[in-house]
Amino acid sequence: MPQKIQLEQISLAADRPLVSDVSFTLRRGQVLALLGSSGCGKSLTCAAALGMLPPGVRQTAGRVLLDGIPVHGEQLRGTTIATIMQNPRSAFNPLQT
């Protein structure tokens, strides 16, 4: 099992800069909450980590590392990393949790 995921200096843009220079390290077993005002880039940062940027948004800088090795989000999604967005009630199936 991987022990650490890192986002290093992630920057995102569309027709203008959207997220600039976001970095964090998350070790196995840790939980991370991104907090901020509406529109500050929390969801886009998660989407970048998962390799799920919306159409028209591109990563202009930075990288995602898994145990120090560069990876793409699609390599992590569903097996190594997950996200629970704004309404956690809609993220879980009550019959399975």
Please report, for the domain that includes residue 25, its CATH number. 3.40.50.300
Higher pLDDT, 70 or 20: 20
Among the listed residues 52, 57, 43, 55, the one whose alpha carbon sits nearest the alpha carbon of residue 87: 43
Task: Provide the domain limits for residue 43.
Answer: 4-87
Does residue 92 lie in a domain region? no
pLDDT at 25 over 90: yes
Q: What is the pLDDT of residues 44-95, one digit of tens each?
A: 998 898 888 999 999 999 999 989 988 876 666 666 776 666 666 666 666 6
The structural domain count of the chain equals 1
Does residue 97 lie in a domain region? no
Report pLDDT for 53. 92
Contacts of 26 (CB under 8 A, 6+ apart): 4, 5, 6, 32
Among the listed residues 3, 95, 4, 5, the one whose alpha carbon sits nearest the alpha carbon of residue 50: 5
Report pLDDT for 32. 85
Does residue 11 lie in a domain region? yes
Does residue 24 lie in a domain region? yes
